[in-house]
Structure 1
């Protein structure tokens, strides 16, 4: 059993950024604005500041937001919270994303000043293309990103939801400017391991690109609370209520994994969700980072405690074996 009292930072892909294995996903800071922002309840400013402050105190040193999260509302709320944190946020890093759908690559440069205004003085350490679908090629988007690096508007370039082939195209184009692709942000968890089978993980390791895992707890499913009390699943609102994973048959299917998470949680004095997050950030060396969200301060406490221990190699392998059939 390995327990730690501090967070060991690691290099984010091909960049010079030294980040905590877990960052904080900030979609929930959208203030209910826009279609995407309505996915989460509206959080008060004090709650947001408490979540960010708690995350910083627990060793998280980076925050992931996006233009489409409330049309800049998440960026603004994050910036306000970091500014309110004062010295505690001195070493914090910000990642955001450009929304490409129904746009062309030139929009990246046209909208960068808006991103910077929303972030209220916080530099963009990692700027990502949010989706692979736009009116332009990945190469064209990377050329625009490279221009922004050159003039100091952003520091590093990442992508999100890119296939293995698109990752290669992006990295190949950035190399023409003396740059490298830093990261690919994709859906990844013990219940969704498709990137291990479709070439994304393999390509990331080959190119030295970091994987940033979103939905690392499968929207709460890996907490085990729905398995302990299936009635909670009937109270779910939003898109989750239609997911087969939360139906009785889906819960039964994932029960063996939850049982193992609970067993390991007992050993480490942790929770099932902390064990699930710990597996993510250790199963592939230092390739994978994860960005769980937090809509309440105690969620942030739960997140940071996932970095206080390290699963043994045989435990990592056992979890991989039990979850191997998910996401096929």
Structure 2
């Protein structure tokens, strides 16, 4: 039976999520990859143990994480039941619904029908009575925003989630969602969006500034650009790369010589800072206090330990920031 490290909170930094009472670790563990049926269960357990032993209290899932869909939640639920159930009150567990999960007109997007049914399924897969954060995973262009937000409100009122979140929204839609949820007196605390040195979408679509203005938290996924912002690709594409084994998210044609030149130049800056490229990339996201937490994925426990080192230095000089912008956005 797993026993947690008694000093687990000493090395982690915890940030308040907007103006709410909720705090999240600066580094959170995402279960998007490597927790599905194609993963090794013992390795999944060790990654969860390593994360928690080092102060990562937040475990982020979604209904469709796998492969196959739902399998990450099932596997995490098994780990909870067998080894970590006694630590449930020290954990923040989140899940989401919005992408395709089952056939027919009720299996995706943002209807009240889909969101409530999906969360019930997620809770059953994980063996939980509630999650701490439940997100609408992506904007729905057809369902009225009022219906989707009222569904989140109903979910929180029912006790099946403690806080509401939204994912992949832009600034204007965030503002509208906030107004609705404020009127409904819902504890809406967080936005989840892609953000990294290469992908500045949340700066361009108003989400980053609007979240700061409205006192809402931000948690970022793909902070390492699917591994590009690490030492994995400095010498080209390794044979065991996800590009070779699972091309759903990082395609080989994206890793050209121009991109690799940028990666190597960024790596040089990181080396001068005394950091790995991955550490610098995570630190860059946390540098200005706008982002509450970064979601890291991992294929082995040692990667989690490496990523946590990022919080040791999140201060950048103006010269460093200008050079990072010149390299990555040029």
TM-score by length of 1: 0.85
Separation in 1, partners of 2:283, 2:60: 19
Q: Pick from 49, 56, 61 the counterpart of residue 60 of structure 1.
A: 56
Q: Pick from 267, 270, 282 the counterpart of residue 261 of structure 1.
A: 270
How big is the shift at 1:182?
A: 1.4
How big is the shift at 1:29?
A: 4.3
1:116-138 alpha-carbon deviations (Å, 9 max, x no partner):
11121263111001111354122
Separation in 2, partners of 1:152, 1:234: 43
Match of 1:285 in 2: 289
How big is the shift at 1:177?
A: 1.2
**Residue 242 in 1 paired to residue 251 in 2?**
yes
Match of 1:301 in 2: 305
Structure 1 runs (4+) deviating above 6 angstroms are none
Separation in 1, partners of 2:295, 2:315: 22
Gaps in structure 2 of 5+ consecutive residues = 1-8, 101-107
1:89-129 alpha-carbon deviations (Å, 9 max, x no partner):
54011010012554423321233221211121263111001
**Residue 322 in 1 paired to residue 314 in 2?**
no
Separation in 2, partners of 1:213, 1:318: 24
What secondary structure does 2:62 align onto?
Answer: coil
Separation in 2, partners of 1:243, 1:137: 38
- Larger deviation, residues 82-91 vs 116-125: 82-91
Separation in 1, partners of 2:141, 2:117: 15
Match of 1:35 in 2: none
Separation in 1, partners of 2:155, 2:329: 37
What secondary structure does 1:125 align onto?
Answer: strand
How large is the RMSD of aligned CA atoms in angstroms? 2.4
1:200-254 alpha-carbon deviations (Å, 9 max, x no partner):
1110100111111110001111113312x22527963133663554211221133
Match of 2:74 in 1: 76
Contact 2:27-2:293 within 8 A present in 1 as well: yes
Separation in 1, partners of 2:171, 2:315: 30
Separation in 2, partners of 1:90, 1:180: 19
Gaps in structure 1 of 5+ consecutive residues = 33-41
Separation in 2, partners of 1:86, 1:234: 34
Contact 2:191-2:219 within 8 A present in 1 as well: yes
Match of 1:151 in 2: 158
1:244-274 alpha-carbon deviations (Å, 9 max, x no partner):
542112211333222101221xx3xx42211
Separation in 1, partners of 2:72, 2:263: 33
Separation in 2, partners of 1:260, 1:122: 46
Q: Pick from 213, 219, 226 the counterpart of residue 212 of structure 1.
A: 219
What secondary structure does 1:131 align onto?
Answer: coil
- Structure 1 residues 245 and 122: CA distance shift in structure 2, 3 A: farther
What secondary structure does 2:193 align onto?
Answer: strand
Q: Pick from 44, 47, 51 the counterpart of residue 43 of structure 2.
A: 47
Match of 2:137 in 1: 130
- Larger deviation, residues 217-226 vs 238-247: 238-247
Contact 2:35-2:76 within 8 A present in 1 as well: no
**Residue 10 in 1 paired to residue 15 in 2?**
yes
How big is the shift at 1:16?
A: 2.1
How big is the shift at 1:20?
A: 0.5
Separation in 1, partners of 2:118, 2:50: 31
What secondary structure does 1:7 align onto?
Answer: coil
Q: Pick from 232, 245, 258 the counterpart of residue 238 of structure 2.
A: 232
Contact 1:50-1:297 within 8 A present in 2 as well: yes
Aligned residues: 307
Match of 1:99 in 2: 98
Contact 2:191-2:217 within 8 A present in 1 as well: yes
TM-score by length of 2: 0.85
